[in-house]
């Protein structure tokens, strides 16, 4: 087993910044912050470079959530409730009720969202 000293010796030395008052600072956090600021600035200033606008991104998320993820979770919930029922769990009836309610909301999510959108307009 390697000692901590040999592991630390193998790591690259961090770049340090020497300030006027003699204080040395590690530059790694500054690199990450600068990279994050650059990516944010490019995304905000030129959304066509990010290949999407805010509205189309939100519509894509809504479509994936209501069309794929929620129905998939509903089917998984039914399967878990069925396994609970077949193994003789005393709470199986409650699991089945929750799974059926989850299916109603999971498969009906797109209709619910559309109804709310029409009501608001």
pLDDT in tens, 40-99: 776 666 655 556 667 777 787 788 888 888 888 888 999 999 998 999 889 889 999 999
The model scores a pTM over 0.85: no
CA atoms within 13 A on the CB side of 99: 18
Domain extent listing, the chain: 4-45, 54-120
Distance between CA atoms of residues 65 and 21, nearest Å: 54
Token pair of 106, please?
């999971």
The reported pLDDT for the residue numbered 36 is 76
**Which residues 6+ apart lie within 8 Å of 102 measured at CB?**
73, 74, 77, 78
Residues 10-26 have pLDDT tens digits of 555 555 555 566 666 56
């Amino acid at each position: 087993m390697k000692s901590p000293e040999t592991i630390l010796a193998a790591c690259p030395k961090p770049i340090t910044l020497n300030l006027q008052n003699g204080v040395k600072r590690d530059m790694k956090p500054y690199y990450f912050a600068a990279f994050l600021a650059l990516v944010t600035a490019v995304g905000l200033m030129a959304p066509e470079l990010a290949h999407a606008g805010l509205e189309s991104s939100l519509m894509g998320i809504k479509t994936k959530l209501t069309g794929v993820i929620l129905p998939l979770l509903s089917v998984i919930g039914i399967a878990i409730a069925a396994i609970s029922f077949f193994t003789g769990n005393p709470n199986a009836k409650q699991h089945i009720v929750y799974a059926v309610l989850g299916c109603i909301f999971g498969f009906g999510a797109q209709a619910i969202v559309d109804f709310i959108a029409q009501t608001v307009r």
